[in-house]
C-alpha cells in the first residue's frame, strides 16, 4: 500500500509541475487546469489510504460541507471577483494549515526540528489567514481601500514582531508552554492584519499573490511536521510560484516589491499629487455610426481590452465585432497587456472563453511594433495600460510602467462609460489626444451597437 501511496504522490507531483507549465500559455491552459485537478485527486486518494487515517466519517462530513460552499462559489462568482475569491480560499487553506499545526502540537508534544516546523507552520498559517481576510475585505470593498495607518505604527509593529520572535524561540525550547503558544497565536493573527491594512486596495492583487506564497510555505512546514511528501512538494511549488507571480506583477506595474508593501500607491494622496493629466485638452466624443464606419473600412484594427471589458462582460461582443470586421476583409488583433484587468491572464481567460483564436491574442512586445501601421485602435475599457504618461510624464505615479503604445496608431476610439480614471487614479493623456475619439457608454452596449452599424455599413 505504501508503494501505491508514494507512487500516487510522485505522479501527482509530476502533474502539478506540468500543470504550472501548461497554464503559462493560453493554448495549453485548459490542459494545465485538468492536469492540476487530476494531480490533486491522486494526492487526496493517496492521503486517504494512509494508515494514519482510521475513520472516514468526519472526512466525509468535511468533504460535503466544503463542496456545498465551494461549488456554488465557483459557479456564481463573476470573473471580476476572482482576486477576492482567491484571497478567501487562501484564508481557508492557511487556516487549515494553522489548525493542523495547533492540533499536532497538542496531540503529541513535538521535539527538535518538528517543533520548528510546527511553529513556523502555525505562525505563517494564522498570519496568512487574517492577512487574506483583510485583502478580501479590501477587494470586496467591505473595508476601506485606502491604506489604513496610525500614529506610532512602526514602533507598535516592531514591538509586536519582537514579541512574536521571542515567543517563537521560547516555544522551540519549551514546546509544552501553553501560555506562550497562545501569545504566538495572537501575535500571528495580529501580524496578518497589521501587514495588510496599511496597503492600498489597489495593490491587493499583488498582496494576495504574496499571501499565496506564505500559504505555500506553511504547507511545506506542515509536510515536514506530519511527514507528508506531497505537501512539501506542492507547498514549495505554490510558495515559489506565488512569489514569482508577485514579482512579475510588481514589475509589470513598474513598482518595486518594497514599494508595493510599504508605499501607498492608489491612495488619495498619491492619486491627487500626480493625478492630473499632463497633456490638457478635451475629450472628443464620437457617435457609434461614425466609429463603426471608421472600423468597417479599416485594413488593420487592434482591439485593446481592459478592466472595463471584464466589468461589462463584453468579451463575446468584442469577438463578434472582430468577426464582422474580418468578414469585410479587415485584419483584427487583440492586444494583451500583462496586467490588463485585475489579475494576471485576465484578458486571455475572458477572450479565450469567448472563442477568440489564440493566434489573435498578441502580447505587449509584439503588438507594440504594429501600432504605427494600425488604422484604428479600439480601446475597450482599458485605461492605465494605454496611458502614455507612463512613458512621457516623470511626475506620474505610473511613470515607467510598460504600456501598450496605442497612441502610435493612426486613430484611436476609446469605449468607456464616462470620464472616470483607471485603477491607479491617474488621468489619461490618450483620451485627450486629438487622434482619439470617445464613445461613451457601457462597453457591452457600445460593442453591440458598433456590431450592428458595421453590419449595415
Ligand atoms: P483600469 O486602469 O482599471 O481602467 C478601466 C477603465 O474601464 C476605467 O477607466 C473605466 O472608466 C472603464 N470602465 C469600467 N467599467 C466599464 C464598463 N462597464 N464599460 C466601459 N468601460 C468601463 O484598467 P486597465 O487599463 O485594464 O488596467 C489595469 C490596472 O489594474 C493597471 O493599473 C494594473 O496595474 C492594475 N492591476 C492589474 C493586475 C493584474 O494582474 N491584471 C493586478 C494588480 C493591479 P469609466 O469609469 O469612465 O467607465
- pLDDT tens for the chain, residues 1 to 457: 889 999 999 999 999 999 999 988 888 988 999 999 999 999 999 999 998 898 999 999 999 999 999 999 889 988 778 888 889 988 998 999 899 888 888 887 777 788 888 888 898 999 999 999 999 999 888 998 788 888 888 788 889 989 988 998 898 888 888 899 899 999 999 999 998 988 877 788 888 888 889 889 989 998 988 888 999 999 999 999 999 988 888 887 777 777 666 654 444 334 444 444 555 678 999 999 999 999 999 999 999 999 999 999 999 999 999 999 999 999 999 999 988 998 878 898 899 889 999 899 999 999 999 999 999 999 999 999 999 999 998 888 788 889 999 999 999 999 999 998 888 888 899 999 999 999 999 999 999 999 999 998 8
Give CA–CA dist 34/48, Å, rounded.
21
Q: Is 384 a catalytic residue?
A: yes
Query: In angstroms, how far is CA 316 from the centroid of its own chain?
Result: 22
Give CA–CA dist 279/283, Å, rounded.
11
Pocket of ligand 1 (CB under 6 A): 205-206, 249, 253, 306-308, 311-312, 339-344, 346, 381-385, 415-420, 422-424, 442-443
Residues in the chain: 457
Atom of ligand 1 nearest to the CA of 343: 40
Burial class of residue 390 (count of CB atoms within 10 Å of its CB; 0-12, 13-18, 19+): buried
Instruction: Write the Ramachandran bin of 263: left for phi over 0, alpha for psi from -120 to 50, otherwise beta.
Output: beta
Gap from CA of 380 to ligand 1 centroid (Å): 10
Residue 141 C-alpha cell reads as 470593498
Name the helix (H) or strand (E) containing 363: strand 361-363
Gap from CA of 97 to ligand 1 centroid (Å): 35
Pocket residue to mutate for ligand 1, from 423, 428, 432, 445, most atoms within 8 A of Cβ = 423
**Strand pairing class (376-380; 411-416):** parallel
Nearest residue by C-alpha to atom 3 in ligand 1: 423
Nearest residue by C-alpha to atom 21 in ligand 1: 416
Decide if 437 contacts 286 (C-beta within 8 A): yes
Helices (H), 275-314: 288-296, 307-312
Nearest residue to 435 (alpha-carbon basis) of 413, 404, 418, 450: 413
Decide if 407 contacts 342 (C-beta within 8 A): no
Global model pTM greater than 0.85: no
Gap from CA of 305 to ligand 1 centroid (Å): 9
Gap from CA of 433 to ligand 1 centroid (Å): 19
Amino acid at each position: 500500500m505504501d508503494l501505491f501511496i508514494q507512487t500516487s504522490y510522485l505522479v501527482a507531483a509530476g502533474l502539478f509541475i506540468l500543470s504550472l507549465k501548461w497554464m503559462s500559455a493560453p493554448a495549453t491552459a485548459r490542459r494545465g487546469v485538468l492536469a492540476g485537478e487530476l494531480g490533486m485527486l491522486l494526492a487526496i486518494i493517496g492521503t486517504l489510504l494512509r494508515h494514519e487515517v482510521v475513520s472516514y466519517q468526519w472526512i466525509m462530513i468535511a468533504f460535503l460541507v466544503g463542496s456545498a460552499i465551494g461549488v456554488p462559489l465557483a459557479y456564481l462568482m463573476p470573473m471580476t471577483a476572482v482576486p477576492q475569491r482567491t484571497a478567501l480560499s487562501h484564508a481557508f487553506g492557511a487556516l487549515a494549515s494553522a489548525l493542523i499545526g495547533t492540533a499536532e502540537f497538542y496531540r503529541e508534544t513535538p521535539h527538535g526540528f518538528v517543533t520548528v516546523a510546527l511553529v513556523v507552520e502555525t505562525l505563517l498559517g494564522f498570519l496568512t489567514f487574517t492577512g487574506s481576510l483583510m485583502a478580501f475585505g479590501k477587494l470586496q470593498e467591505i473595508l476601506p481601500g485606502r491604506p489604513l495607518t496610525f500614529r506610532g505604527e512602526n514602533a507598535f509593529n516592531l514591538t509586536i514582531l519582537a514579541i512574536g520572535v521571542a515567543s517563537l524561540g521560547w516555544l522551540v525550547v519549551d514546546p509544552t508552554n501553553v501560555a506562550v503558544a497562545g501569545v504566538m497565536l495572537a501575535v500571528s493573527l495580529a501580524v496578518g492584519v497589521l501587514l495588510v491594512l496599511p496597503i492600498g486596495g489597489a495593490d491587493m492583487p499583488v498582496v494576495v499573490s504574496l499571501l499565496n506564497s506564505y500559504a505555500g510555505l506553511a504547507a511545506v512546514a506542515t509536510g515536514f511536521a506530519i511527514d507528508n511528501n506531497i505537501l512539501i512538494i506542492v507547498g514549495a511549488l505554490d510558495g515559489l510560484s506565488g512569489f514569482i507571480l508577485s514579482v512579475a506583477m510588481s514589475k509589470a506595474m513598474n513598482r518595486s516589491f518594497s514599494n508595493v508593501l510599504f508605499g501607498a500607491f492608489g491612495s488619495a494622496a498619491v492619486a491627487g499629487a500626480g493625478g492630473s493629466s499632463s497633456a490638457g485638452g478635451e475629450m472628443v466624443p464620437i457617435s457609434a455610426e461614425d466609429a463603426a464606419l471608421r472600423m468597417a473600412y479599416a485594413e488593420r484594427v487592434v482591439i485593446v481590452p481592459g478592466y472595463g471589458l471584464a466589468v461589462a462582460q463584453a468579451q463575446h461582443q468584442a469577438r463578434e465585432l472582430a468577426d464582422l470586421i474580418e468578414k469585410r476583409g479587415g485584419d483584427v488583433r487583440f492586444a494583451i497587456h500583462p496586467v490588463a484587468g485585475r489579475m494576471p491572464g485576465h484578458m486571455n481567460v475572458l477572450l479565450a472563453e469567448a472563442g477568440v483564436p489564440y493566434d489573435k491574442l498578441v502580447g505587449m512586445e509584439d503588438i507594440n511594433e504594429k501600432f504605427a501601421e494600425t488604422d484604428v485602435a479600439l480601446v475597450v475599457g482599458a485605461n492605465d495600460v494605454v496611458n502614455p504618461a507612463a512613458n512621457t510624464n516623470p511626475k506620474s505615479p505610473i511613470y515607467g510602467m510598460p504600456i501598450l503604445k496605442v497612441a502610435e496608431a493612426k486613430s484611436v476610439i476609446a469605449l468607456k462609460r464616462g470620464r472616470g480614471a483607471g485603477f491607479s487614479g491617474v488621468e489619461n493623456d490618450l483620451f485627450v489626444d486629438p487622434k482619439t475619439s470617445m464613445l461613451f457608454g457601457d462597453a457591452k452596449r457600445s460593442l453591440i451597437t458598433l456590431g450592428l452599424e458595421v453590419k449595415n455599413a
